[in-house]
């Protein structure tokens, strides 16, 4: 087993051309980033609106739960029959599945901002937009990015599944390998997919840490200490 | 032919109906058995984390790592890790058990941390030994926090089982691969709807179960007091 | 800048009446306290002044102009606002928290920061705290920053919504003193909301007692409210100790201050059949030396019995009575503004003054 994996990784044929590791990794990454951008463009404004105004929160949480329960394979095959184009179907499916975590993170982030802080901002004469961008968003940032991290994990996993309807990326190794019973290729695909997910998660965790305002981090550390004490 | 006609024709066939019932039953088994096993595993790990605080950090990092691995990747490597055959349903059960446990470890630890120290201290003072105290005092009090995590895990499991269809064991997921290969919408739509319904029903049952398990946590009906006229 | 409530009512869509036909004039340069049990509409009344809540009917005039004629955000920038947990922005340093309103009003950055630094000093915080984040301050410090932030725009009106109720009693008293000291320098029109009658009496030039359902029960000076509650509700709310609390408004000017034998710490006390007050080289009281005590050589503080509370001459008579009652010698120590002992009073003498006062216990 290990031998087969080592053989696969050391074979130079697997590192070149349209089916080579660099191409497949970049493809997979491309789908994930494209879907992430599209999903964020849709989900972040809605999450900000709902979180800021408090209107439609129940609807948002409810529809988020329904989408979360959607079977990814069912969604992707359905969209493929509908659009008969694997790239379009897969990207739409990826976007649909990435929206709920981003929406939930954004909404939860704004909800978690201390009401007294928002009240003080309003009482000092900040207008709606100033309050949102200067106060609520910076404080909500950790949870918003938490939602983005969840979305990325979801996207890496779903992009692999979407190989079933003909999408490129690392899922190809998994499914093509299964089809010809080449377990070296299957295992290599699994390792690469898992590695991609882990690396992306670490990168985002680092960005998350860097973007959280220092004062918010101190406040969080403070509450944690109180809980632990 | 309109979709409704197609659906009527699909559901009219006794063979198809039988397949639907069979896959639904398999889906329940593949989603719920891992849920139960995962809960037990997470509680055991949580107990370990409480008893041995140094292990906590490692436990949480590992749980996060397992959760990061894309589903298809985990499904395909399980057979070579535990020596089962590719088409064995055990593979899906093991993979989903791991996911469930990984998802629940943090809620379990948080829930156990949230048990008031005074309650634990008074149980100890009354002569409970640690194991019994854990099972009869700490664990029941952790149920409310734990229940929220279990609900998320159940929805996630029910949705993930379908991916197993790509390795030949997928409950309702088989309807998706079937529909895809025959370019036939009906099985896919039926599969999606049944998956969502199953998620909803299980979720309601879990809410009910949580209420039954935590009679102290309900808002009591207002006790009638005599009101002077 | 005076504030006037004219027939102000706030009704919520669910039918609850938070404020019911409130008519009230708040005078320029005074501290007016809204006090009452929860649900009496005191916070709602306060929040209608800066339009955080809009009245259902009636008018609120700020310096003669209807508050609804101004843009809400601009109006609020011109009114200081302090709330219970301070509501500091956790992601901004103390200094930029304080500079918030000047920056909103378009001041340049340097000027706003200078102003903020100045205000930290005004509220008694060291300048180094300016670089810290709110999470790094104590509750009392956070509340001071909240006050500084409200003062930053130099607005003539300050709204304070239970600003001190989340800090512990000792810190609270310090903050109250600080507010009175600030007010003596700044002369703002302050509207202050609290549920604590002691705080209301301590801080208010005028006190408005509100009852549940948002009706004004009584409006007057603290002494008035304590001495002549208009009905059982107000009497019940101001509490059982109101007779004693009323002493806070009676001057002790007529109380006879008697001389008392003193001994110096570090000196040789000799012997005496009376209680003697021990003072240090500055003349400040250190404790009492009981009758017939024998001291070998120099008098040290360990030979003394701890004293009671001190009464500073010129402050209300409540302090004089307390000094007499808490003293081991039954003699209340009177000190001057520098803390030097100038004599003693007895409870008997204090009570005589109270009983012979022409209006009883009123200001």
Average pLDDT over residues A160-173: 91
Neighboring chain A residues of B68 at a CB cutoff of 8 Å: 153, 194, 197-198, 201
Question: Encoding tokens for residue C265?
Answer: 């710490």
Contact C140, C175 (CB under 8 A): yes
Neighboring chain A residues of C139 at a CB cutoff of 8 Å: none
Residue with token string 């700044």: C186
| Sheet with strand C332-335: strands edge to edge | C310-312, C332-335, C341-345
- CB neighbours of residue B66 within 10 Å: 17
Residue C352 is predicted with a pLDDT of 84
Cβ distance C76 to A123 less than 8 Å, yes or no, reads yes
Cβ distance B76 to A198 less than 8 Å, yes or no, reads no
For residues C83 and C145, what is the distance between their CA atoms, to the nearest angstrom?
Answer: 11
- Is B172 in a helix, a strand, or coil? coil
For residues A195 and A200, what is the distance between their CA atoms, to the nearest angstrom?
Answer: 8
Predicted confidence (pLDDT) per residue in C311-332, tens digit: 888 788 888 888 888 888 888 8
Predicted confidence (pLDDT) per residue in A104-128, tens digit: 999 999 998 999 999 999 999 999 9
CB nearest to C73's CB, from A126, A139, A221: A126
Q: Mean pLDDT across chain A, nearest whole number? A: 89
For residues C100 and C83, what is the distance between their CA atoms, to the nearest angstrom?
Answer: 15
Residue with token string 């109380």: C255
Give the lowest-confidence range in A89-103, B177-191, C264-278.
Answer: C264-278
- Is C286 in a helix, a strand, or coil? strand
Average pLDDT over residues C335-350: 87
In whole angstroms, how far apart are CA C296 and each of C253, C260, C270? 40, 23, 9
B-proximal residues of A, 114-143, CB under 8 Å: none
Query: By C-alpha distance, which of C87, B102, B15 is closest to A121?
Result: C87
Residue B1 is predicted with a pLDDT of 64
Burial category of B61 from C-beta neighbours within 10 Å (exposed 0-12, middle 13-18, buried 19 and up)? exposed
B in contact with A (at least 3 C-beta pairs within 8 A):
yes
Distance of CA A136 to the CA centre of its chain: 22
Q: Please determine, for residue C95, whether its predicted confidence score (pLDDT) is greater than 60.
A: yes
Residue C285 bridge partners (DSSP): C279
Average pLDDT over residues C195-209: 91
Testing the interface with A: which of B23, B69, B70 to mutate, by most A Cβ within 10 A? B70
Neighboring chain A residues of B80 at a CB cutoff of 8 Å: 1, 183, 187
Cβ distance B80 to A189 less than 8 Å, yes or no, reads no
Testing the interface with A: which of C71, C83, C91 to mutate, by most A Cβ within 10 A? C91
Contact A173, A188 (CB under 8 A): yes
Q: Whole domain around residue A164: which residue ranges?
A: 2-12+21-228
Torsion angle of alpha carbons C144, C149, C155, C157, nearest 10°?
-50
Cβ distance C81 to A120 less than 8 Å, yes or no, reads yes
For residues A77 and A92, what is the distance between their CA atoms, to the nearest angstrom?
Answer: 11
Question: In Å, how far is A127's CA from the nearest CA of chain C?
Answer: 6
Cβ distance A201 to B199 less than 8 Å, yes or no, reads no
The chain B residue lying nearest A71, using CA atoms, is B159
For residues C316 and C309, what is the distance between their CA atoms, to the nearest angstrom?
Answer: 14
Residue C215 bridge partners (DSSP): C211
The chain B residue lying nearest A175, using CA atoms, is B166
- CB neighbours of residue C7 within 10 Å: 11
Average pLDDT over residues C47-71: 93
In whole angstroms, how far apart are CA C191 and each of A193, B179, C70, C101, C159? 63, 71, 20, 19, 5
Local confidence band at C304 (pLDDT 50, 70, 90 cut-offs): confident
User: What residue ranges of chain C are covered by domains with CATH 3.10.580.10?
Assistant: 262-356
- With residues binned 3-state (H G I as helix, E B as strand, rest as coil), the percentages for chain A, rounded to 5, are 85, 0, 15
Residue C174 is predicted with a pLDDT of 86
Question: In Å, how far is A142's CA from the nearest CA of chain C?
Answer: 12
Predicted confidence (pLDDT) per residue in C3-19, tens digit: 999 999 999 998 889 99
Considering the entire predicted model, what is its pTM? 0.78
For residues A219 and A73, what is the distance between their CA atoms, to the nearest angstrom?
Answer: 42
Question: In Å, how far is C160's CA from the nearest CA of chain A?
Answer: 11
Average pLDDT over residues C64-81: 92
Contact A228, A209 (CB under 8 A): no
Residue B222 is predicted with a pLDDT of 60
DSSP H helices, C278-346, are 317-326
A178-188 as b/e: b if 16+ CB within 10 A: beeebbbbbbb
CB nearest to B195's CB, from A69, A80, A193: A69
Which of A69-83, C153-167, C281-295 has the highest mean predicted lDDT (pLDDT)?
Answer: A69-83
Structural domains of chain A, count: 1
Cβ distance A174 to B176 less than 8 Å, yes or no, reads no
Q: Please determine, for residue A228, whether its predicted confidence score (pLDDT) is greater than 60.
A: no
Task: Kindly state whether A186 is in contact with chain B, defined as any CB-CB distance less than 8 angstroms.
Answer: yes
DSSP calls for B43-105: HHHHHHHHH-TTHHHHHHHHHHHHHHS-HHHHHHHHHHHHT--TT-THHHHHHHHHHHHHHHH
| Sheet with strand C65-66: strands edge to edge | C17-26, C3-11, C57-62, C65-66
Burial category of C277 from C-beta neighbours within 10 Å (exposed 0-12, middle 13-18, buried 19 and up)? buried
Predicted confidence (pLDDT) per residue in B191-214, tens digit: 999 999 999 999 999 999 998 888
- What CATH code is carried by the domain that includes residue A186? 1.10.3720.10
Task: Kindly state whether A171 is in contact with chain B, defined as any CB-CB distance less than 8 angstroms.
Answer: yes
Question: Encoding tokens for residue B118?
Answer: 């005074």
Bridging pattern class, strands C341-345 and C332-335 = antiparallel
Q: Please determine, for residue B225, whether its predicted confidence score (pLDDT) is greater than 60.
A: no
Distance of CA A103 to the CA centre of its chain: 11
Q: What are phi and psi of B127, to 5 degrees?
A: 105, 15
Local confidence band at C297 (pLDDT 50, 70, 90 cut-offs): confident
- CA-based diameter of chain B, in Å? 78
Question: In Å, how far is B216's CA from the nearest CA of chain A?
Answer: 23
Residue A219 is predicted with a pLDDT of 80
Question: Encoding tokens for residue C274?
Answer: 């009376």
Residue with token string 């512990």: C168
Residue with token string 């309601």: B204
The chain B residue lying nearest A159, using CA atoms, is B70
- CB neighbours of residue C343 within 10 Å: 18
For residues A194 and A7, what is the distance between their CA atoms, to the nearest angstrom?
Answer: 19
Q: Please determine, for residue B102, whether its predicted confidence score (pLDDT) is greater than 90.
A: yes
Cβ distance B177 to A178 less than 8 Å, yes or no, reads no
- Is C188 in a helix, a strand, or coil? coil
- Is B216 in a helix, a strand, or coil? helix
- Class assignment of domain C3-240? alpha beta
Percentage of chain A beyond pLDDT 90 is 59
For residues A23 and C102, what is the distance between their CA atoms, to the nearest angstrom?
Answer: 55
- Class assignment of domain B3-217? mainly alpha
CB nearest to A69's CB, from B65, B176, B196: B196
What residue segments make up the domains of chain B, in order of their start? Answer: 3-217
CB nearest to C90's CB, from A125, A127, A215: A215
Cβ distance B159 to A165 less than 8 Å, yes or no, reads no
- Is C213 in a helix, a strand, or coil? coil
Residue with token string 């008697």: C258
Contact B96, B30 (CB under 8 A): yes
Q: Mean pLDDT across chain B, nearest whole number? A: 88
DSSP H helices, B89-228, are 90-113, 117-125, 130-133, 139-160, 173-181, 185-213
Question: In Å, how far is C63's CA from the nearest CA of chain A?
Answer: 19
CB nearest to B159's CB, from A1, A69, A78: A69
Handedness of CA B67, B71, B76, B79 (dihedral sign): positive
Considering the domain delimited by C262-356, tell me its CATH architecture: Roll (3.10)
Question: Encoding tokens for residue C258?
Answer: 């008697």
- CB neighbours of residue B127 within 10 Å: 8
For residues C352 and C355, what is the distance between their CA atoms, to the nearest angstrom?
Answer: 5
The chain A residue lying nearest C104, using CA atoms, is A126
């Amino acid at each position: 087993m290990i031998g087969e994996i080592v053989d696969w990784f050391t074979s130079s044929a697997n590192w070149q051309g349209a089916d080579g590791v660099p191409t497949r990794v970049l493809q997979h990454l491309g789908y994930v980033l494209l879907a992430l951008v599209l999903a964020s463009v849709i989900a972040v404004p809605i999450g900000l609106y709902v979180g800021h105004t408090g209107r439609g929160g129940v609807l948002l949480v409810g529809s988020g739960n329904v989408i979360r329960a959607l079977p990814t394979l069912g969604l992707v095959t359905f969209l493929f029959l509908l659009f008969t184009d694997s790239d379009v179907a897969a990207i739409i499916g990826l976007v649909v599945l990435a929206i709920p975590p981003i929406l939930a993170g954004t909404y939860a982030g704004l909800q978690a901002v201390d009401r007294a802080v928002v009240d003080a901002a309003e009482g000092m004469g900040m207008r709606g937009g100033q309050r949102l961008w200067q106060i609520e968003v910076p404080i909500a940032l950790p949870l918003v990015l938490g939602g983005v991290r969840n979305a990325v994990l979801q996207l890496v996993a779903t992009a692999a599944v979407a190989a079933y309807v003909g999408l490129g990326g690392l899922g190809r190794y998994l499914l093509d390998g299964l089809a010809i019973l080449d377990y070296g290729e299957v295992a290599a695909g699994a390792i690469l997919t898992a590695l991609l997910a882990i690396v992306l998660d670490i990168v985002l965790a680092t960005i998350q840490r860097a973007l959280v305002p220092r004062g918010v981090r101190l406040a969080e550390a403070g509450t944690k200490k109180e809980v632990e004490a | 032919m309109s979709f409704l006609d197609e659906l009527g024709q699909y559901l009219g066939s006794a063979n198809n109906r039988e397949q639907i019932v069979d896959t639904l039953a398999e889906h329940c088994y593949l989603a719920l058995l891992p849920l139960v096993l995962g809960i037990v595993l997470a509680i055991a790990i949580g107990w370990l984390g409480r008893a041995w605080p140094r292990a906590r950090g490692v436990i949480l990092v590992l749980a996060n790592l397992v959760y990061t691995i894309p589903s298809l990747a985990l499904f395909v490597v399980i057979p070579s890790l535990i020596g089962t055959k590719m088409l064995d349903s055990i593979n899906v059960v093991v993979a989903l058990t791991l996911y469930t446990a990984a998802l629940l470890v943090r809620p379990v630890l948080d829930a156990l941390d949230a048990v008031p120290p005074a309650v634990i201290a008074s149980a100890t003072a009354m002569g409970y030994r640690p194991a019994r105290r854990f099972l009869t005092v700490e664990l029941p009090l952790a149920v409310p926090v734990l229940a929220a995590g279990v609900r998320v895990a159940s929805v996630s499991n029910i949705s993930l089982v379908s991916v197993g269809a790509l390795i030949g064991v997928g409950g309702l997921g088989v309807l998706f691969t079937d529909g895809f290969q025959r370019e036939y919408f009906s099985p896919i739509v039926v599969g999606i709807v049944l998956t969502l319904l199953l998620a909803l029903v299980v979720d309601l049952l879990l809410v009910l179960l949580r209420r039954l398990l935590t009679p102290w946590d309900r808002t009591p009906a207002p006790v009638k007091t005599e009101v002077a006229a | 800048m005076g504030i006037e409530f004219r027939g102000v009512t706030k009704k919520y869509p669910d039918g609850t009446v938070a404020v019911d036909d409130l008519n009230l004039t708040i005078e320029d340069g005074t501290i007016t306290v809204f006090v009452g049990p929860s649900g009496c509409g005191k916070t709602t009344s306060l929040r209608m002044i800066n339009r955080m809540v809009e009245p259902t009917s009636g008018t609120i005039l700020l310096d003669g102009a209807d508050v609804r004629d101004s843009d809400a955000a601009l109006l609020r920038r011109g009114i200081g606002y302090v709330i219970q947990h301070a509501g500091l922005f956790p992601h901004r340093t103390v200094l930029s928290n304080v500079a918030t309103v000047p920056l909103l009003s378009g001041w340049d950055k340097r000027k706003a920061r200078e102003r903020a630094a100045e205000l930290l000093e005004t509220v008694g915080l060291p300048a180094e705290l300016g670089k810290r984040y709110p999470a790094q301050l104590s509750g009392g410090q956070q509340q001071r920053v909240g006050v500084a932030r409200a003062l930053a725009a130099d607005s003539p009106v300050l709204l304070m919504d239970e600003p001190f109720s989340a800090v512990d009693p000792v810190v609270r008293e310090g903050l109250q003193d600080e507010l009175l000291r600030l007010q003596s320098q700044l002369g703002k029109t302050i509207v202050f909301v609290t549920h604590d009658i002691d705080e209301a009496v301590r801080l208010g030039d005028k006190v408005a007692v509100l009852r549940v359902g948002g009706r004004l029960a009584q409006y007057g000076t603290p002494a008035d409210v304590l001495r002549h509650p208009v009905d059982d509700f107000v009497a019940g709310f101001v509490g059982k100790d109101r007779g004693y609390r009323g002493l806070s408004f009676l001057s002790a000017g007529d109380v006879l201050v008697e001389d008392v034998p003193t001994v110096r710490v570090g000196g040789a006390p000799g012997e005496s059949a009376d209680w003697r007050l021990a003072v240090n080289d500055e003349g400040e009281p250190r404790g009492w030396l009981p009758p017939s005590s024998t001291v070998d050589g120099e008098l040290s503080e360990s030979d003394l019995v701890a004293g009671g509370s001190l009464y500073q001459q010129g402050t209300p008579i409540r302090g004089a009575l307390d000094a007499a009652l808490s003293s081991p010698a039954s003699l209340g120590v009177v000190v001057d503004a520098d803390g030097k002992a100038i004599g003693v009073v007895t409870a008997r003498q204090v009570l005589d003054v109270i009983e012979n006062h022409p209006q009883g216990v009123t200001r």
